[in-house]
């Protein structure tokens, strides 16, 4: 089977491109971020026409996450326990959606451990500036997710993927010029430590060793033609699921052409 993650930067603007990607790539489950709409505004009909169910979590025109699946969706969670709130009054933003799918249609029925898989579509807070309250919120958000993740890994057979826009460039090579980011978010030591904590807990980032490319290019300053990008979209898998991963891809071409998102899909194949 094949799953993917993609910050679509407004699903209503890019629904045609998303459907075309699904049909072209043969993706079974797509985790989307920054859908920027409420569930009643989400363009469900084109997904259903293409054979996909959709789970949606959006509160307004900001943030928002969704999962489209052509495998049966059996459970959804619109936040993780201890997910922190932000703002005044504090609100638990639409930044995490966990969807459990029945994989028996895609994987051998004899493999009981693979009867279901949970994919979390994650849109980690940006942080804005290292002195901003949003930066402290970002670190708390990642720390609380890691805490929840440790409880999920207590089951050695767990089939879980934490995928999405992490808004962290873990290594210097993940930005076109690390000196240009001096003093900025995404590359600061606390953010990188928060990201690395997942690997220390046992999660396996399954794309790094299989594919090299950026996943995001800003719309400004001709960043894409100059290939001045960032690698901030990742897939952390539980060990049992990581053992099944056979390939990973970054669809760089999806950044080309009219109406492209500033992110591209990150694709993972599972045996």
Q: Around 31, how many Cα atoms within 13 Å sit in the side-chain half-sphere?
A: 31
C-alpha 49 chain-centroid distance? 24
Give the pLDDT of residue 112: 46
Three-state SS across the chain? CEEEEEECCCHHHHHHHHHHHHHHHCCCEEEEECCCCCHHHCCHHHHHHCCCEEEEECCCCCCCEEEEECCCEEEEECCCCCCCCECCCCECCCCEEEEEEECCCCCCCCCHHHCEEEEEEEECCCCCCCCCHHHHHHHHHHHHHHHHHHHHCCCCCCCEEEEEECCCCCCHHHECCHHHHCCCCCCCHHHHHHHHHHHHHCCEECCCCCCCCCCECCCHHHCCCCCCCECCEEEEECHHHHCCEEEEEECHHHHCCCCCCCECCEEEEEC
Closest CA to 233 of 114, 124, 115, 99: 124
Give the pLDDT of residue 184: 97
The one catalytic residue in 214, 233, 263, 269 is 263
Give the pLDDT of residue 106: 64
Active-site residue 132, yes or no?
Answer: no
Decide: 137 and 194 in contact? Cβ < 8 Å. no
Q: Which residues pair with 61 in a beta bridge?
A: none
Q: Which residues are annotated as a binding site for Mg(2+)?
A: 7, 34, 165, 167, 262-263
**Nearest 5°: phi and psi at 8?**
-85, -15
Rounded to whole angstroms, the Cα distance separating 104 from 231 reads: 33
Whose tokens are 């929840």? That residue is: 148
Q: Which residues are annotated as a binding site?
A: 7, 34, 165, 167, 262-263
The one catalytic residue in 165, 174, 233, 251 is 165
Active-site residue 214, yes or no?
Answer: no
Active-site residue 123, yes or no?
Answer: yes
Q: What are the structural domains, with CATH classification, of the chain?
A: 2-270 (3.60.10.10)
Q: Which residues of the chain have pLDDT under 50?
A: 112
Rounded to whole angstroms, the Cα distance separating 87 from 132 reads: 12
Q: Which residues pair with 77 in a beta bridge?
A: 98
The one catalytic residue in 52, 123, 135, 137 is 123
Q: pTM to 2 decimals?
A: 0.96
Using alpha carbons, list the distances in angstroms from residue 167 to 26, 110, 174: 27, 39, 11
Q: Strands of 2-7's sheet, edge to edge? A: 53-57, 65-69, 29-33, 2-7, 266-270, 245-250
């Amino acid at each position: 089977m094949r799953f993917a993650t993609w910050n679509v930067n407004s699903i209503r603007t890019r629904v045609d491109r998303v459907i075309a990607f699904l049909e072209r790539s043969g993706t079974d489950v797509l985790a989307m971020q920054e859908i920027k709409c409420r569930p009643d505004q989400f363009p469900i009909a084109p997904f259903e026409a293409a054979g996909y169910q959709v789970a949606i979590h959006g509160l307004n025109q900001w943030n928002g996450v969704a999962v489209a699946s052509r495998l049966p969706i059996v459970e959804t969670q619109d936040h993780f326990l201890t997910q922190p709130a932000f703002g005044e009054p504090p609100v638990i933003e639409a930044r995490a959606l966990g969807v459990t799918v029945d994989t028996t249609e895609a994987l051998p029925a004899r493999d009981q451990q693979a009867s279901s898989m949970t994919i979390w579509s994650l849109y980690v807070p940006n942080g804005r500036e290292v002195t901003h309250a949003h930066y402290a919120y970002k670190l708390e958000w990642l720390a609380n997710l890691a805490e929840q993740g440790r409880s999920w890994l207590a089951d050695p057979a767990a089939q879980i993927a934490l995928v999405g826009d992490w808004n962290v460039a873990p290594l210097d090579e993940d930005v076109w010029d690390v000196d240009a980011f001096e003093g900025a978010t995404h590359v600061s030591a606390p953010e990188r430590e928060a990201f690395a904590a997942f690997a220390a807990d046992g999660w396996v980032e399954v794309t790094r060793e299989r594919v090299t490319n950026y996943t995001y290019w800003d719309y400004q300053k001709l960043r894409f033609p100059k290939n001045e990008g960032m690698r901030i979209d990742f897939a952390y898998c539980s060990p049992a699921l990581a053992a099944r991963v056979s390939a990973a891809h970054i669809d760089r071409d999806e950044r080309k052409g009219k109406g492209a998102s500033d992110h591209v899909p990150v694709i993972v194949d599972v045996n």
